[in-house]
Chains A and B, each alone.
Chain A
Amino acid sequence: MQPLLSQACWDTLYMVGWSTLIAVVVGLPLGILLVLTDRGGLLHNAVLNKVIGQVVNIVRSMPFIILMVALMSFTRWIVGTTIGRDAAIVPLAVGAIPFFARLVETSVREVDGGLVEAVQSMGGNTWTVVRKVLVPESLPSLISATTTTVVAIIGYTAMAGTVGAGGLGDLAIRYGYQRFESQMMWIIVAILAIAIAVVQFAGDSGARVLHRRAGKGGEPFRFRKRAAFLPGGPVTADATATPGKTG
């Protein structure tokens, strides 16, 4: 049981690691491109924007299990097989890319257009804007997006287990569901829960540190006056108050 479990842990880590990496490497530029090609964007291109948007929507609307099946021949073409942890990375990454790209899009859209303009006024080109403004300014939010994506991928790996990908999900199903050894299943559930908590905590901490530095909240206790007639007393300490743009 012990070696089985540690092997499964490694398999899961392997699948999550690679598919996250691919999702970020492909999804980040895709998300940024969605913003840039949109109306009023620096690379405004209605056709490209529509095409990327539609592809992203279609992939996102597919249940993961269907995606796995649909991608079988593609997977075989890439890794030579449809079974095993390497094969599972393909549908995991393909599923995560549009998911992450949409999150990136939302994050990047929140960057103040004035900053883009400032860099343009200094003589920066589009690439400068992406490198010096869009990515660094949305970094806290991008870290949160990555966290969310990792958690989602961990969930998907359990499903990937059903097609012989290995990993914790696979083990849980084989032992817990097929052999009625519920102890193993509960151990795995605990491991997954802990893994997700750790990922979430790490991501949140990273995002919070950057956020605080950027002055987007987290200053020690800002007092905001509340109208006295409102329930909750006249003055409330609001630790997470977000100061306005003029800060």
Chain B
Amino acid sequence: MITTQGLTKVYRSRGREVTALDGVDLHVREGEVFGVIGQSGAGKSSLIRCVNLLERPTSGTVTVAGQDLTALAGRGARAGRELREARSRIGMVFQHFNLLSSRTVQDNVELPLEILGHSGQARSRKALELLDLVGLADKAKSYPAQLSGGQKQRVGIARALAGDPKVLLSDEATSALDPETTRSILELLRDLNRQLGLTVLLITHEMDVVKTVCDSAALMEGGQIVESGTVSELLATPGSELAAALFPVSGDASGEDRTVIDVTFHGESATQPVISQLSRTYNIDISILGAAMDTVGGKQVGRMRIELPGRYEDNVVPIGFLREQGLQVEIVENVAQEPVLLKEGVTK
């Protein structure tokens, strides 16, 4: 649904050059929620702004719903009619909501329809319908200043949906909201994704957001996508930083002569039976040091850190058993070393 190829963005200001995007190949499938995560300055906003060409890519192509937007861009900085039409079919929600304070909630939602040239009656019908969808039917005549942050973002979402887009872009839509409100907004996005078959590309700082709503995720670093895939694909990737950050496990060995291993479940085998089987078959005591599990599509996925008695050499067989079960096993040698992403104030 959204594809970028070799996307590069170089900002030039006062003779200084900043490469914000450095050859980004992004692929978002139709109907999925795709999360982009990364540290501040990694280029996430630049990427999402390039998708609807609010920012002109320096090179590379952007294709949305089969349409090459970069080909529509034209030469000058101004957007031609074709590009503007394409943009009207891509919804966008913003961190700071960006609602017009001079308009009522309903008039804010009607704005995209005014731009599309719809008649007054059609506009107000659509706007009320959308406000109902986001649960704000009673606030139609209020002004944005009278709403809470979460309500404002709901208006922002309703507005983004006014043009019946197939794609929704969201740049840290929940970063200005408290955890409770964040959850309700994410649920809304998830519902919209399911009900309307909306493809969502969202940017976030929070791993929880990815875990709650995303089907796929990508990690950006220094203008490049360093990891990307569905959540279970990421889990299946040995040494995946994103997987480690999504399912963080910690815990130290309780003493010498212990083997600490991280077991990754990506949905093929259920958690409980495997561990108890292991314990029974080899007659060993297993302590669970930490676990980060989630249920995705009715299957348990995540990671678990367990401790086995004895050195690694003594545990070759049990570890082999786990691998036979289709589980991924990593031996934790230096427990003190935390995954990099986790140190960057990622909320857990």
User: Chain A residues in contact with chain B, CB under 8 A?
Assistant: 42-44, 112, 114-115, 117-126, 128, 132-133, 136-137, 139, 210, 213-216, 243, 245-247
Contacts and interface: CB of A to CB of B under 8 A. Distances in A.
B144 A215 contact: yes
The B interface is mostly helix, strand or loop, or mixed, namely mixed
B116 interface: yes
A137 B145 CA distance: 13
B100 A123 contact: no
A136 B112 contact: no
B94 A118 contact: yes
B115 A123 contact: yes
A122 B98 contact: no
B183 interface: no
A128 B88 CA distance: 13
Contact of B102 (A42, A128, A210, A246): A210
A101 B255 CA distance: 76
Contacts of B102: 136-137, 139, 210, 213-214
Interface in B174-196: 176
26 contacts: A43-B78, A114-B98, A117-B98, A118-B98, A119-B115, A120-B54, A121-B52, A121-B87, A122-B88, A122-B163, A123-B116, A126-B78, A132-B111, A132-B114, A133-B100, A136-B100, A136-B103, A137-B100, A210-B102, A213-B101, A213-B102, A214-B102, A214-B143, A215-B101, A216-B145, A246-B149
B92 interface: yes
Given A215-B145, A215-B146, A123 B98 contact: no
Given A42-B78, A123-B85, A123-B88, 16 more contacts: A42-B77, A114-B94, A117-B94, A118-B94, A121-B87, A122-B163, A125-B79, A126-B78, A128-B115, A132-B111, A132-B115, A213-B102, A215-B101, A215-B144, A246-B96, A246-B176
Interface string B82-119: 00111110101010101011110000000110111000
Contacts of B84: 123-125
A97 B106 CA distance: 36
A117 B54 contact: yes
Interface string B140-173: 0001111001000000000100010000010000
B96 A216 contact: no
A122 B96 CA distance: 16
A232 to B, nearest CB: 28
A137 B88 contact: no
A52 to B, nearest CB: 19
A211 B145 CA distance: 11
B112 A123 contact: yes
A42 B84 CA distance: 14
Contacts of A216: 101, 145
Interface string B69-86: 000000001110000111
B145 A118 contact: no
Contacts of B115: 119, 122-124, 128, 132
A214 B101 contact: yes
A118 B143 CA distance: 17
Nearest to A42: B78
A135 to B, nearest CB: 9
Nearest to A123: B88
